[in-house]
Amino acid sequence: MSGKSADTRENIRRAAYSCFRDHGYYEASVDAICAMAGVSKGSFYYHYASKQACYVDILDTWTREVISEVQKQFEQATLAGNPFAALQAAFRRENVRGRLIVPLWLEFTVLARREPAIREVLSRFYHRARLAIAEMLRPFVGPFIALDELDGLSSAILGLFIGVLTQELADPGHTEAGEASDAALKVLGRLLARTDAAAWGASADGESRRPRAPQLAGVRIDDDAFAGFVAPHSASVRQVTAELRDLVLSTVPAADERLIRGWRVVAYDLGGLLCSLKPQRAHVDVGFYQGAELDDPGALLTGRGKHVRHVRVRPGDLDDSALVGLIRQAAALRGAD
């Protein structure tokens, strides 16, 4: 898509968002959207097959923007003294946008009951958001709560954020979303701090300090779980995924290994996400979460994200030495010896 065409599409999407927000999905017409965007109906239908397609694109675009922001805040939170304070700050930043979008969000939710396309995009958003929150919390609470508890906590925190914004919309005189989420997260933080004061570095007077980084013991997923994960793929892709797994674990023996099913990856952690393996139809993507900072003399890394880069490995095309160099650099960035 050319730059001009992309600008026109974005202009239509922004106008449609305003119309949907102000008038609702059914009352907002294509004619009104075109008038606000200053384009013809032909231009609208060039970019979108229908009003619903435009509606879905708005939600999908918002999903990507929000998750990208949450991921950046996650990276900042891993360096923060208290993850719940970082979450509080993140929620304060999102409250402004959230207040504008909650009415439209509620309509999305109602429409999702009968519109599969909208339901699919909403489901994708919820899943990604829960994973992002879980990864924000995991370096801090992972040593003393189970994975299913972490998933539940992430769902509850996401529900808290959406719920208090909804209450503020319906009962503005008695509920302020920022204050409510701040209070709830403070309580959660104190409760978790008390479960293991030593892990959270509590001082003698009870004041919470920076939590100590968990000491990872190289926890591995079992072979059956790994085999089940790669089973849907071809024999050649399964083989190269297994070879890459061995390469990562032999290069960084202290790494924690787990499945992140929502992202469909095997991920490796050293006090923060290090790299991942994602089998594809005919290759495996090796993702580096700080890939933009790696020296890449072999020009293996692809992608243009601010942080993540990937190496595409096809069967029979594994370059051990170059990949080992990237893995070691990534481990060094995580503070590993």
Q: Tell me which amino acid residue 73 is.
A: Q
30-74 per-position pLDDT tens digit: 999 999 999 999 999 999 999 989 988 887 787 677 666 665 655
Domain range holding 129?
51-195
109 and 129, same domain (yes or no)? yes
DSSP conformation class of 203: -
What per-residue confidence (pLDDT) applies to 111? 84
144 and 278, same domain (yes or no)? no
For residue 217, being part of any structural domain is answered with no
What per-residue confidence (pLDDT) applies to 207? 45
1 and 91, same domain (yes or no)? no
What per-residue confidence (pLDDT) applies to 96? 67
For residue 305, being part of any structural domain is answered with yes
191 and 60, same domain (yes or no)? yes
Which of 141-145, 208-212, 255-259 is most confident? 255-259
* Closest C-alpha among 136, 156, 140, 158 to residue 148: 156
Share of the chain above pLDDT 70, in %: 74
Greatest alpha-carbon span in the chain: 70
Angle at 272 between CA 145 and CA 328, to 5 degrees: 140
* Closest C-alpha among 288, 282, 276, 273 to residue 313: 282
- The pTM of the full predicted model, rounded to 2 decimals, is 0.52
For residue 156, being part of any structural domain is answered with yes
- Quick one: tokens of 93? 């930043």
What per-residue confidence (pLDDT) applies to 208? 41
161 and 254, same domain (yes or no)? no
- Quick one: tokens of 237? 């892709």
CATH number, domain of 82, equals: 1.10.357.10
Which of 116-130, 172-186, 235-249 is most confident? 235-249
CATH number, domain of 285, equals: 3.90.1150.200
Angle at 116 between CA 112 and CA 120, to 5 degrees: 80
282-318 per-position pLDDT tens digit: 999 999 988 889 999 888 998 876 678 899 999 988 8
Q: How many domains does the chain have?
A: 3
